[in-house]
Amino acid sequence: MARGTVHLVLVGAPYRHGVEQMERPPSALLYVGGFLRRHGFGVAVHHIAQRQMPETARAIATDPDLLWVGLSAMTGTQVTRSAELSRAVKALRPGATVVWGGVHPSLMPAECLAFGYVDYVVIGEGERTALDLSAHLAAGGRRKPADIPGLAYLDGDGRLHRTPDRPLERNLDDFRQDWSLVDARRYLVPYADGRGVYFISSRGCPHDCAFCYNLAFNHRRWRTHSVDFVVDELAALKAAHGIKYVVFDDDNFFANRSRALELLRRLKALEITVTWLELRIDYITAELMAELSGLGVGSVFFGWESGSDRTLSRISKGFGRDIIVEKMALLGSYPQLLVDASAIVGFPWETEADVSATVATALEMFRRKPFGVNFNLGLYVPYPGTPLVPEALASGFRFPTDPEGWERFDILSGEMRVPWLTLEQIRRYHLLDRFAKVLYVPGKAPLPLRLPAYAAALLAYARLHQGVLGLAVEPWLRARAERFWLERRQRRLAQRSSTDGSRVSPT
């Protein structure tokens, strides 16, 4: 017998070219919801696009069984959307208990509670804390539960109260994404010649890059599902939905190389291929690449972060420029392999010389693997709880204080400002990124499309080399083509899910 219903909500984030990303399963909600359901609570998961917020708020507020409503947010627009939805639910049903969880509230609990319509923040891993809180509320608990670890709330006097941190789970197999909480077909992404799915096999990362949330959130502790568990889960998805591909959304899938390889081998035996993999560039070796290509991995992603050794050292990346160039040369000997390579420019201490070193390194990487590197040169933005925040604050940076401000805190919007960069510098860095993107030519595109793309890439190379970025026709054309492709893909997904009869359709 269910003891009330917990409604869990994730609003899709605008991603590349502002298109809302709805393909990835709401993993956090499937984990937390699955755990609650296993322990006898009713659970409804709402993974919605922004335009579905009013109807979702109504559905939640009018549920006679409502126990509490939980919202998940990473830093950025999801904070604004979660605030709007929380406000709407509270307006319709003032007594509703609103709980926030996820990376952002975990790292900024006081600020989220200060919005005025958040009753609790669940800090860190959510499953056990959500369960304890549900039991407390189901038992009619009006008092704030000071004995539940992993919570933050305001006490009667409006003072912040934070209970002791909940220890991180050692063995993730106690937790499971419950796919029956959603229409799983919605998340079967068309891939090469079959269907793929995004999956989480581990949490956290042993490294401590100074711009990353991991140190504060996962305390350098890397925890895993067992290989058997992951294989069984994916085998079940294959049996139910015929998946042929999987993309791991782990923070650091390759932290333990032998586990990662064993998993990939076992999946291959099941005819489930991992074609795209994220791994640190310094993990790459000739033997590993040989093994990965044998296993069907067709592209790899890594953050090389910078071409400036000074910056690489200040962000504690753990490798220098020489490693980037050396590993890139190695990747160059796999012509079929695609490389997604991400770097960051505009740290508070960076001079034009540092940025030039990054551009020069990108061009060097292009020479090692011509047309085969898909670059992303992002602008540095301080993220909550990260080790670089004090330096950013000392340089005049301030986090937004109201929910609307977080909508503008979106590095992908291209409108983010940091005080140590002039508008002119920001515009130029965005332009560097847009030109760098032209350097990549998707090998699978038809030849008549590829030929002009090669020409544009060579032109972009020359322009980046000379620093002549005026009249950015090539990047503009490139962005138009990408946006067209993305929107078409989203439309197809939406069409397919409405034909399949999903309850909530993606954008």
Residues that bind ligand B12 (CB under 6 A): 8, 10, 13-15, 21, 24, 27-28, 31-32, 70-72, 74-78, 99, 101-104, 122, 125-127, 130, 200, 212-213, 249-251, 378, 383-384, 410-412
Which amino acid is residue 354, in one-letter code?
A: D
Helix (H) / strand (E) element for 152: namely strand 151-154
For the CB of residue 317, give the shortest distance to ligand SF4 in the complex, in Å.
7
| Distance between start and end Cα atoms, the chain | 35
Of 16 and 367, nearer to ligand B12 (C-beta) is: 16
Q: What is the DSSP letter of 198?
A: E
Return the SS3 of 367.
Answer: helix
Residue 383 and residue 75 in contact, taking contact as beta carbons nearer than 8 Å = yes
Region near ligand SF4 per CB under 6 A, out of 32-40, 123-131, 206-214, 341-349? 206-214
Please choose which of ligand SF4, ligand B12, none residue 27 contacts, taking the beta carbon within 5 to 8 angstroms, the exact cut-off set by kind.
ligand B12
Which of ligand SF4, ligand B12, none does 126 bind, CB closer than 5 to 8 A by kind? Answer: ligand B12
Report residue 473 as tokens. 């026709």
Q: Which does 120 bind (CB under 5 to 8 A by kind): ligand B12, ligand SF4, none?
A: none
| Per-position DSSP letters for 25-64, written without gaps between them | --HHHHHHHHHHHHTT-EEEEEEE-GGGHHHHHHHHHT-T
Round to whole Å and give the CA distance between 392 and 347: 9
Among ligand SF4, ligand B12, none, partner that 173 touches (CB below 5 to 8 angstroms by kind) = none
Q: Is 207 in the site for ligand SF4 (CB under 6 A)?
A: yes
CA angle 247, 50, 278 (to 5 degrees): 20
Beta bridge partners of residue 339, listed in sequence order: 300, 373
Find which of ligand B12, ligand SF4, none residue 104 binds, CB within 5 to 8 Å per kind.
ligand B12
209 binds, among ligand SF4, ligand B12, none (CB under 5 to 8 A by kind): ligand SF4
Q: Mask of contacts with ligand SF4, 113-142, x by CB under 6 A?
A: ------------------------------
CA distances from 238 to 94, 184, 224 (A): 44, 12, 21
Q: Report d(CA 333, CA 328) in Å as an integer.
A: 9
Give the residue closest to ligand B12 by C-beta: 101
**How many chain residues bind ligand SF4 (CB under 6 A)?**
10
Query: Contact 474/459 with Cβ under 8 angstroms?
Result: yes
Q: Among 214, 361, 386, 507, which residue sits at the site for ligand SF4 (rule: CB under 6 A)?
A: 214
Does residue 201 belong to the site contacting ligand SF4 (CB under 6 A)?
A: no
Beta carbon nearer to ligand B12, 86 or 311: 86
Distance CA 86, CA 97 (A): 9
The CB-of-14 to ligand SF4 minimum distance in angstroms stands at 22
Which residue of 212, 339, 373, 438 would you call a contact of ligand SF4, by CB under 6 A?
Answer: 212
In Å, how far are 78, 178, 290 from 56, measured between CA atoms?
A: 15, 21, 49
- Does 251 participate in binding ligand SF4 (rule CB under 6 A)? yes
Q: To 5 degrees, how large is the angle CA 330–CA 333–CA 334? A: 110
**Residues binding ligand SF4 (CB under 6 A):** 205, 207-209, 212, 214, 251-252, 280, 303
